[in-house]
Amino acid sequence: MKHKINVLFLAVSVGLICLFFFETPYFIPLLIAVGVLFFVIMSLGVLFMKFNYFLNSVNRLKNDFVLLTFDDGPDPEKTPKVLDILAKNDIKAIFFMIGNRAEQQPELVKRVVAEGHIIGNHSYAHNNFMSLFSKKNLTADIAQSQTVLEELSGRKIPFFRPPIGYTNPSYAKVLAKLRLTNVGWTVRSYDSVYTEPNKLIERLLSKIAPGSIVLLHDNLDVTVDALSDFIDQATANGIKFANGETIKTIQHA
Ligand SMILES: [Zn+2]
């Protein structure tokens, strides 16, 4: 992984600096420069999954469909509305559910599966500081959500998406152990920032392209309010959303 290359870069650089610059005025400044560069690169890796720094993520489809993904549900009021809109348009999506919310809405979990969508693991507690968790705590949280989601859905859960999209060096090992594929996104909707459905639709239409994975949230009013018109307008522009067949190929990718 790129993180290992960065660690190797740090070790080799420090070694060379000690060898050639020890007892020179450049020694300390060079060590600081190499250290700062290492942390800047690592921080970018924490913040942006698309760099595949700590682990490889699926950030785009290998085909021309557009895949909608909904995080942070299930929500008792809004998720059913999202499901109605998707059903009306014959679109299949991935719902990255939070384990402790799924426990509160077992019937909704079953409905999502019955209607042909995929459920993904979005952690048990959605702790915003999860990227600072130790390997042990990371495993405990993700495994707990995995158990809840698999029991409620009766399906193997193949995908994971980390809360707020931040990862750390332990994620690769934990997800490999739990046999989960990490899924990022191509287009971030910023539906948690927009309050106007029209602005959200405008952004989505300007960003999506064949193969895009779109990050949305099914616990937000603005997303529910924008979804139907967005789908209509994108379809009129020639966009094809993932259907039952597409979702099968994604599941077995
Ligand atoms: Zn989330």
- Is residue 223 a part of any domain in this protein? yes
Other Cβ atoms closer than 10 A to 183: 25
Q: How far is CA 215 from the centre of its chain?
A: 8
State the distance from the centre of ligand 1 to the C-alpha of 70, rounded, in angstroms: 9
Ligand 1 centroid–CA 23 distance in Å is 50
Query: For residues 210 and 65, is the Cβ–Cβ distance under 8 A?
Result: yes
Q: Which of 27, 47, 67 is the last residue of a domain?
A: 47
Looking at the predicted structure, is the pLDDT value of residue 137 above 90?
Answer: yes
In a domain, 159, yes or no: yes
Report how many domains make up the chain.
2
pLDDT given for residue 52 in this prediction: 85
193-230 tens-digit pLDDT? 999 999 999 999 999 999 999 999 999 999 999 999 99
Give the residue numbers marked as catalytic. 71, 217
Is residue 216 in some structural domain?
Answer: yes
User: Residue 56 above 70 pLDDT?
Assistant: yes
Q: Is the peptide bond before 158 cis (omega within 30 degrees of 0)?
A: no
In a domain, 228, yes or no: yes
> Residue 25 is part of which domain span?
2-47
Global pTM? 0.89
* Residue 247 in this model has a pLDDT that exceeds 80: no
Q: Are residues 9 and 91 in the same domain?
A: no
* Ligand 1 center–CA 24 separation, angstroms: 50
Whether residue 130 is found in the same domain as residue 176: yes
Distance CA 196, CA 190 (A): 11
Determine what percent of the chain is predicted with pLDDT higher than 90: 79
Summary mean pLDDT of the chain: 93
How far apart are alpha carbons 58 and 67 in whole angstroms? 12
User: 10 and 122 in one domain?
Assistant: no
Whether residue 171 is found in the same domain as residue 148: yes
Two structure tokens written together for 151: 């029991």
In tens, the pLDDT along 158-192 reads 999 999 888 888 998 999 999 999 999 999 999 99
pLDDT for residue 135 is more than 80: yes
Query: Residue 251's pLDDT is what?
Result: 60
Asked whether residue 134 falls in the same domain as residue 9, the answer is: no
